[in-house]
Each structure stands twice: as structure tokens, then as C-alpha cells.
Structure 1
Amino acid sequence: MTWPELRQEPRPQPSLTQRPYLWLQGNWLFLSPEDLTESLRSLARGLPAVIRPPQGRPLSLDALGVDLPGEAGLEEALHSQVASCPGLGQDPTPPELWVQLLGPRGLLNVSPAEGAALLGLPPASFLRNLEALQAWADPPGLFARDLQECLLLQLRRLGRDPSDEATLLREGREDLEGGTLKHFCQVQDWDPGRLEAALAALRRLDPAPGRGLVPTRTVRPELSLLPGSDGSVDCRLLREHQPRVEWASDLPAGETDRRLRELLLHLGLRSRTLVRLGLALAHRQRAFLLDSAAPRAPLGLRTLSDDTGISPSTLSRCLNQTWAQTLRGTLPLAFLLARSPRRRPDLDYDTLEALLRDAQEKGLPDRRVAEALGLPRRTVTYHRLRLGLVPSNRAGTARPGARGPHES
């Protein structure tokens, strides 16, 4: 019996010209400029080179007011608290859905009726579970329906209910909002000193308990995607937000020269890849970047991966980490992606929001909007509730227990 000859074919090697990020030491595409500076200093140890940190001033993430996709925030910080809340009992609602009802301050950003509809709970069950979360969550004030309830929850946890400051919140809400505290003092027969003491106690409370759970972050925009003089989007690398490498003019040949050349090559490949990514986004989102009123074009990770030759998983991490200066302010590159419903890949969510607001003004019911857009009715209802749009009498009310669409 003759065995066939076995031949071991050479394994295909990845093309570094197509995927330059494979060259990068320590996943440099995922590093912030500060972390990249530390990585460069570690690699340059023993070399006649000086690593200069970025010179540009960093920007506060809180000041930018942008929600970064994938960024650790309230959902991660409160997941375990909601999951361990004893008052929820046998409620099967996933904890992350409760946290998604909160705004950045830790207060509900929907009405109780809308929250019950989004979670698929009866209104009575929703309110009962909400009160359990308010009593359990730490810091106190989380899951409040408004600022008044947030401060009252904090006073209750401090054992200051009843108290003068609690009375001021309950009985003097209209006077606090209208600036007519003199009228409140006359009705309650308070002297100015008693009022000032109650106000001082309220000022010591936290109107945004959720912000303390998310660490403050600063970011540095590394790309500029601003309108150019010829009507196109000018993609430019911001050198002031990049670490710099300085070295002596007469380097000794040999190992020292080779190490420094490799370091500069990797740094150059990172910059080139970021610019290529910026150019691809500028091409796909040209109208959005040139016109502050234009919506984002539908763009997913798979399409961007085909444009750049970078895997979707690598793109996802890089887009969340890299920031750019745009006509609309400083934004993460991930903001330039625009998801779309599976039934309508040509319709991005920005346009869908505008259409739903227009339908709200015209009093169109969800059924007619869904038929006109070619979407399931539950998809339209879900996004209308997410936007806080309440249907008119002509439009009818949302079906209780409506959940988010499976395809979106």
C-alpha cells in the first residue's frame, strides 16, 4: 500500500500593508495619549531619547456632555445594587433595564407610565419596585422621579424627615421654583433665619447622586474633522495632543539605532491608521460633518471594517477611545456610527427620531407611522416612548407592556 506524499504548505502570513495595526506594540490603537506616553517611555528605556507628553489641554468628559458608547457608567456601577435589591422580589426584569431608565444625574428620565410600558410591568408593580430601589440604592436619591423627590429621599436616609428643609421642599415647591420665598414665610409663619437655615441644609444635599458613581474623565481629541476650504471634510492629525519623541542627532549604529527606528515606526503606523480611519468616516458622514442640521448616514461596524480593512472588534475599541474635533463639538469617533432598524437599513435612528416627532405634531397613530415606514408597530411604539413622545387622543395610547423591538 502506497501512502500519498504529505506536503506541509506554508501558513499564510497576514499582510501588514493591509492591516498595519498588527504591528503596533501593546495595542497602541486602544491607548489614550496619556497611556501611550507611558508605553513609549517604557519602550524607550535605555535609549538616548526623550518622550514629551502631549502639550494640548485635555477636555473634561462631563463638560462635553457626550455619552460614550461602551463607557463604564451608571449601568455598570448600579448593576449589582439593582440585582441584590431585596424589595424587587420575583421581578424578572433584568437589572440593566432599570438602570437604562436613569439619566446621567441618576434620576428617572421617563415618567412612571412610560417606565412601566418600557419594562412591561403593570403600573402598580412598577411603582412598588421603584420605591424598593429608592430605599435600597446608594447613594440616596437615585431612582427619584424629580429633584424634589431626590432631595427628600436623601433627607429620609439622614433621619431628617420631618424637618424644616423637608417642609420647605413639600410645602414650598412652587415658591422655591418661582422665587417667592417671602410668600412662603408669611404662610408658614417663618422668620428669615429659619428659612436661611433650611436653605443651607438643602444646599448640602446632592442634586445629582448618579454623577458620583462615574469617575471623571478627561479626553484629548487626536483628529480634526472640520470643513475644508474646498467644501470637503479636512481630516488632520492633531499633533499637540500626541506624545513626541526627541533624540540625539548622532545615534550610535547597532541595537540602539534599530530599537529607536522600530519605536518610531510603530508610532507612525498608529498615526497613519487613525488618519485612515478618519478619512473613511469623513467620506461616509460627509453631509453630517459639513452641515450641523444633517442627520448621520446609516453606518455600521461591518461597513467601516470593509472600508478600512480593520476587524470590527478592533474598530469598536478604537472608535470609543479616539476623539475628534468636529463642527458639532468634540466627539468620540463612535458617535459617527449610526445604527438602523433591520427592516430599514437605509433609515438611521436620527431620521427616525425626526419622523416620529413630525408624526407627533400631526397626531398620527403608531399604526399609520409603522405602515408608512415599513416597520413593525412595536418598533415605532418603543422609540416613541424612548423619546418621551406622548401620543395625542387621535393617536391613541401605547399598548401596556410593549417592549423594545427585537430587530433594533
Structure 2
Amino acid sequence: MMHMEHRLAQTQTQRLMLTQKMQQAIQILQLSGLELEQYIQQELETNPVLDQIQKEPEPEPVEEAENNDDTEVFDDIAFDLDEYASHWSDRAAEGRDLSYNPDLAERRAYYENSITKAESFTSLLLTQLRLAAKDENVFRIGERLIGDIDDKGYFSGSLAEIADEMGVPEEEVERALYVIQRLEPTGVGARDVVECLLLQINVEYPDEEELKVLVAEHLEELERRQIPQIAKAMKITPERVEELKSVLASLNPWPGHEYTSEPAQYVTPDVIVEKVDGEFVVYLPDETGPKLRISRQYYDMMKAGRMSRDEKRYVRDKVESAKWLIRNIEQRKQTILRIATTIVEHQKEFLEKGIEKIRPLTLQIVADKVGVHEATVSRATRGKYMQTPQGLFEMKFFFSPGLRHDSGEAKSSKSVQSTIKKIVNEENKAKPLSDQKIADILKERGISIARRTVTKYREALGIPSTSLRKTY
């Protein structure tokens, strides 16, 4: 019979644990420049012993005036207080504002008149509707309709439901929508892409009846590039269909995107590469995060004995935390600099000649040269950008697998993609190359890849298939 009982036992095991300081080092390493600034600001708010080193503005050079005999000296000119007070009294008697400062007034007017945020898409439509609506009822219904216009500029609601909700005939709602469809941007308020394009054609190309027929009856065939079928149905030549397609390409199928798109996001490089005396120099920008130091004030207070035991323990912990933060930030800088230098040494041909000369590179290759783990390289390059003579690139861009060239040299997949793009750009548009033909051309250039690989790279580049690239 099995005997069961509760018993205490001790066992000894080995386990890899990450201390809080190591976790902080890993976290700081993978932060981008902007994220690092935000992290440092949080630490400055929570750790009283941390100080930010303020940058002193560089003094402007002052040119010394030549000491000529004609130079006037104003140091000895007497200041006539009575004359100044009399001038001030004259201004007061004239009723002028004695506190008026023209420089400050100009600056204040600039701030008041500056637009800090662009007008919203909905606000733009409402402003136009107030001017276009013939009566209050049309404006009231139109205001409700604008609430159902999405970011693309399309009306996504139901006329019948809005009519029931507002207690008006559906014909009145239809008339209000008609008013909205005459506002800017042209095509707003359409219920589908066909109606949107037709609204724009009626304004931009009112006499192009064939263009209206093409959009109203053959838009789906046009998306599938069935040019001969469209030409036969419309009784026009394929060349005329291509001409109409070019005109159609000038229209905007999403008129609302011009006003609802997010503002451009600006990127600050974490690493800068410049060519100096024939050599590439890698360095970090000076403005990479605030400079920190430990305040001497708390050291002096501890030495003066003006703290209790608990207060001293608190300050010691904060000082230790501040030291580790400063150390981890400096270690981050050195790690990023070493990794960036290794990348630049490996990609010199790319920096000289462009993307077609980029070489294959993996995280493991960089890790071996720098002497760190592969995961460290991944964290150090995450979300960081490098400014090079070829432009601004994310540091992850420089890593790509390699394909074997017939000469024995490895070619980067990005280099092969660039070659495919160049081949497609130079092809005869009336007889576009198939993926197999592109693979044959690459093989003639010493790059042996399968047709399916060409297809994968072509789709990654956003290049349409052979049938969709054909023109007449």
C-alpha cells in the first residue's frame, strides 16, 4: 500500500535570471532616439539625484570696431531725465497706450493668426454647406448626411433610414445629398467608386462621353486589363481605351484622403555616415538624448549629516539607479556605433554605387564581428535609422539573405530585386516580359533563380503581372 504524506524538501537548481539592471540595459538598447528621450524625461521626473546638463549657447563672434578718430563715444553723454519725462508726457497727452510695444504686438499677432491644426474634413464640408444650402432644412439634413461620410469621402449611410430618423421624405434627403456632391473636393458624397468618378468626370471632362461609358459599364473589365474586350464592346480601338485609361488615372477615387491623411512623420537619424577624405566616417548625432549627471547637492547633504538613516538609504538607492542609467545609455551609444561601423564596412560598395551593389548580410555576421549576441544586434537596430550618402535608411534595411552568383559571389536579395525592377522598366510595354523570361535574363547575367522566386520578388516590389502591364 502506497504511503502519502506532506514533506518539506530542499533542491538546488541553476537558473538564468535577468536582474532589473540588465533588463533596463536591454530596454534602453532597443529604444529609438525619440523613445529614449521620453524615457530619460520620465527618469528625470522620478529620480531627484539626476540632473540634465544644459547646453550653453555658443557666444556669437563680436567684431571689434576700428578705433578711428571719427568714431563717436557715447559713454560720456549725459542722460536728461527732464527731457525724457517731457517726451513721455507728450505721448500720454496724445492718448497713446504707454504700454504698447510694437515688437511684442507683432509677435502676439503672429501667434494669434497662426494655424496650429489643419481644418478637419467634416468642418470643411460643413463650412461649404452653410453657403450652399438654400434653407435651414437642407442644412439640417445635410449636416446629418455629412456625419455618415467616411475618410475616403464616400457616403456610407442609408437615405431611407435617415429620412425615417428625421421625419422627412426620402426625396428631400436625396436633394440634400445632391447639394453635398457639388462641394469640394469633387466626388465627395458618392455612394461607390463609379459614382465618385462620374461626379469628377462631369466637372473635369464634361464632353468625354466615352469616358463616362467606360466608367459606368466597363470599370471591372478595365481593372482586369481586358482592353480588347472593352474596345470591342465600345466599338473603339484599343489605343483609344488606353487613352481613356490615362485620363481616368488623373482622377481621385478617394477624394477624402487629401484631408484625412495623417501628417508626415519626420525621422531623425540615429547614426550618420559621411565620406571624409575618401573614407566613410560613422558617428552619432550630438542631439541624441539629453546629457545626464548626478547632482552634487545630495552628496553634500549626506556628508553634512543632515539626513536620517532612511533618507540616506533612499538617496543611495537613487544614486545607484542613476549611475546604472547613465552607464546603460553610454553602453547603448557604443553598441550602436560599433554595429553601425561594421555595417558600413560591409556595405561600402552600396554607399558608393547604390542599391544594386548592396551585399548580403545577416545579424549573425555582424554579431560575430562585434562580439555580441545576435539578439543584441536585432535590438540595437530596431526602429533606428542611418543617414548615408545614398539617403536615409532603416538599419534593418542593410540585412538581407544572399543568392549565389555563377561567379561564386553572393548577391543580396535586395540587389536582385533592384535588377528585376530595372528589367521591367526597360521592357517593351506592348510585349511585357513573363516571370520565366525575367528569370532567363537573370540567368544570362549569372543569377540563377527560379520563376517562383521572380514572382515573389515582383510582388514584393508591387509590380503587376504580365497581363496587367501590357499596353496597346
Q: TM-score, normalised by structure 2?
A: 0.44
Aligned to 2:440: 368
Task: Call closer, same or farther: CA 1:335–1:377 in 2, change over 3 Å.
Answer: same
Deviation at 1:244, TM superposition (A): 1.5
Query: Conserved in 2, the CA contact under 8 Å of 1:227 and 1:290?
Result: no
Distance 2:388 2:42 in 1: 33
Hey, what's the Cα distance between the residues in 2 that align with 1:172 and 1:323? Answer: 50
2:410 alignment partner, SS class: coil
The residue that corresponds to 1:32 in the other structure is 32
Q: Where does residue 281 of structure 2 map in the other structure?
A: 234
Match status 1:157 vs 2:204: no
Report the 3-state secondary structure (helix = DSSP H, G, I; strand = E; otherwise coil) of the residue aligned with 2:360: coil
The 8 Å contact of residues 341 and 348 in structure 1, kept in 2 or not, is answered as yes
Contact 1:40/1:51, CA 8 A, preserved across alignment: no
Deviations 1:200-228 (A, max 9, x none): xx9x933558x83x675333222112223
Deviation at 1:275, TM superposition (A): 0.9
Partner of 2:361: 299
Do the aligned partners of residues 156 and 330 (structure 1) sit closer, same or farther apart at CA in structure 2, a change above 3 Å counting?
A: same
How far residue 302 of structure 1 moved from its aligned partner, in angstroms, is: 3.2
CA distance in structure 1 between the aligned counterparts of 2:451 and 2:150, rounded to whole angstroms:
38
Matched residue type, 2:413: Y
Aligned match for 1:356, one of 417, 420, 431: 420
AA at the equivalent of 1:42? Q
Is residue 282 of structure 1 aligned with residue 283 of structure 2? no
Please tell me whether the aligned partners of residues 295 and 351 of structure 1 are also in contact (alpha carbons under 8 angstroms): yes
Aligned partner of 1:379: which letter? T
Deviation at 1:383, TM superposition (A): 3.2
Structure 2 residue aligned with 1:327 = 389
Q: Give the whole-Å Cα distance in 1 for the aligned partners of 2:53 and 2:191.
A: 49
Query: Does residue 1:224 correspond to 2:272, yes or no?
Result: yes
Please tell me whether the aligned partners of residues 49 and 319 of structure 2 are also in contact (alpha carbons under 8 angstroms).
no
- Normalised by the length of structure 1, the TM-score is 0.50
Cα distance in 1 for partners of 2:24, 2:286 equals: 19
Say whether the 8 Å CA contact 1:341–1:347 is kept in structure 2.
yes
What's 1:139 paired with? Answer: 151
Contact 1:34 1:53 in 2 (8 A): no
Deviation digits for residues 222-269 of structure 1 (CA, Å, limit 9, x no counterpart): 21122232x332111212132221444565167154333222111111
1:378 CA drift (Å) = 2.2
Aligned residues: percent identity? 18
Structure-2 change in CA distance of 1:163 and 1:358 (3 Å)? closer
Q: 1:324, 1:332 within 8 Å by CA — same for their partners in 2?
A: yes
Seen in structure 2, the aligned counterparts of structure 1 residues 378 and 165 have a Cα distance that, compared at 3 Å, is closer
Q: Please state how far the C-alpha of 1:356 moved relative to its aligned partner.
A: 3.0
Partner of residue 168 from structure 1, selected from 199, 203, 206 = 203
Q: CA deviation at 1:366?
A: 3.2
- CA gap 1:54/1:305 in 2 versus in 1, 3 angstroms: farther
Query: Equivalent residues in 2 for 1:63-78 (5 A)?
Result: none
Query: CA shift at 1:376, angstroms?
Result: 0.8
The 10-residue stretch of structure 1 (218-227 or 254-263) with the greater mean CA deviation from structure 2: 254-263
Which letter does structure 2 place at the counterpart of 1:36? L
Measure how far apart 1:154 and its partner are: 4.6
Q: Higher mean Cα deviation, 328-337 or 270-279?
A: 328-337
Distance 1:138 1:306 in 2: 52
Residue in 2 that maps onto 1:383: 457
Q: Counterpart in 2 of 1:205? A: 255
Structure 1 contact 280–308 (Cα < 8 Å) conserved: yes
CA distance in 1, matches of 2:186, 2:362: 44
CA-CA distance at 1:297 after TM superposition: 1.0
Tell me, yes or no, if the aligned pair for 1:251 and 1:257 is still in contact at 8 Å: no
Q: Secondary structure of 2:270's partner?
A: strand
Higher RCO structure (Cα 8 Å, ≥6 apart) = 1
Q: Quick one: which amino acid aligns to residue 40 of structure 1?
A: I
1:55-76 deviations in Å (ceiling 9; x for gaps): 9xxxxxxxxxxxxxxxxxxxxx
- Secondary structure at 2:361's aligned position in 1? coil
C-alpha separation between the residues in 2 aligned to 1:270 and 1:242? Answer: 12
Q: Secondary structure at the match of 2:440?
A: helix
| Shift in alpha-carbon separation, 1:273–1:138, aligned structure 2, 3 A | farther
Query: Partner of 1:261 in structure 2?
Result: 323
SS in 1 for 2:274: strand
Q: Which amino acid aligns with 1:140?
A: K
- 1:92 aligned partner: none
Look up the SS of the partner of 2:357 in the other structure.
coil
How far off is 1:388 after superposition? 6.7
* Runs (5+) with no aligned partner, structure 2: 1-10, 57-148, 155-184, 210-251, 303-314
Aligned residue type for 2:151? P
Given that 2:385 and 2:393 are in contact with CA atoms closer than 8 Å, whether structure 1 keeps it comes out as yes
Look up the SS of the partner of 2:323 in the other structure.
helix
Whether the aligned pair in 1 keeps the contact of 2:186 and 2:255 (CA below 8 Å) is: no
Tell me, which stretches of 5 or more residues in structure 1 are unaligned?
Answer: 1-6, 56-136, 143-150, 175-201, 392-396, 400-408
